[in-house]
Amino acid sequence: MFGKYDLSMNVKTEEFEIEVTGRGKRRIYRRKTKEEEVEKIIYADDGNIVVCPVEPVNMPKIGVAEHLMVELKKPVIFEPDMKNTFYVKFPLEVGIFTVDRKDVERIDIFTTVKGKYALYGPPESGIICRWWRSDVYPEEPEVNPLKEGILRVDVENKYYEWVEIQKVVFRAFDMKLFYNQHAYMHGVITLLNKTTGETSFNTRKPKNMHGSIDIYAAKGIKKFDKKYYMEWGFK
């Protein structure tokens, strides 16, 4: 499903169909899901179409959320100085891009998962997050690759007391996605005390995986601060 295609292409799954048809410089892009159909006209005689997972904060409406909140079905507790890893799932969003030697342009973003929002922090100063609820897994779980991705979470408790985590918040600006048959991210959480911590991402490409197109980098936005500070707790 994911990958680079010619300007004439068709991808059909149980959840959606994507196609680009036409000849010469005029092409028609169509995307169909069970709830929506999108059609756009593309003028191009060179380049490729790239289908890849993107930062899972764009749906159900682009611009509402810039953070992903994952609520854990079972809280996890870390003793002082503990380092360990667990896995969760995240909602898949698919991006469609035109790519040539000079530029990258987004055509479409969609998901087949119903989106919900949640507030992290107080009403007067908190942030709206794309909300997702997941089990916690000791190893990489099986996923529906049309709806879910795998998020590895490395945790280090630098506090001198035990810390319980019921939810984690990641900033989309920091995310780096990869894919093969499924979408994948590698997150890092540093627990500073019982109510604050930092979340970030490991950007090293895993073996046998491809790097997704970064929406922010495609816009020419340079990334300097690559950590998000969770100041309103983990519960």
DSSP designation for 56 = T
Token duo for residue 27: 């092409």
Distance CA 118, CA 170 (A): 13
SS3 223: coil
pLDDT tens for the 235 residues of the chain, in order:
899 999 999 999 999 999 999 988 999 999 999 889 999 999 988 889 999 999 999 999 988 999 999 999 999 999 999 999 999 999 999 999 999 888 889 999 999 999 999 999 999 999 999 999 999 999 999 999 999 999 999 999 999 999 999 999 999 999 999 999 999 999 999 999 999 999 999 999 999 999 999 887 766 666 667 899 999 999 9
C-beta separation of 86 from 40 below 8 A: no
SS3 195: coil
pLDDT at 45: 82
Distance CA 151, CA 141 (A): 10
Residues 6+ apart with CB under 8 A from 208: 180
Residue 218 φ/ψ, nearest 5 degrees: -65, -25
Q: Which helix (H) or strand (E) holds 99?
A: strand 94-99
Per-position b or e across 5-15, b if 16+ CB within 10 A of its CB: bebebebeeeb
Distances from the Cα of 83 to the Cα of 73, 78, 190, angstroms? 21, 8, 9
Distance CA 47, CA 99 (A): 5
Q: Which single residue is written with the structure tokens 């999108």?
A: 38
pLDDT at 23: 84
Q: Which single residue is written with the structure tokens 């998901």?
A: 111
pLDDT at 103: 86
CA nearest to 96, candidates 222, 5, 15: 5
Residues forming beta bridges with residue 187, ordered by sequence position: 153, 201
pLDDT at 220: 64
Q: Which single residue is written with the structure tokens 């904060």?
A: 57
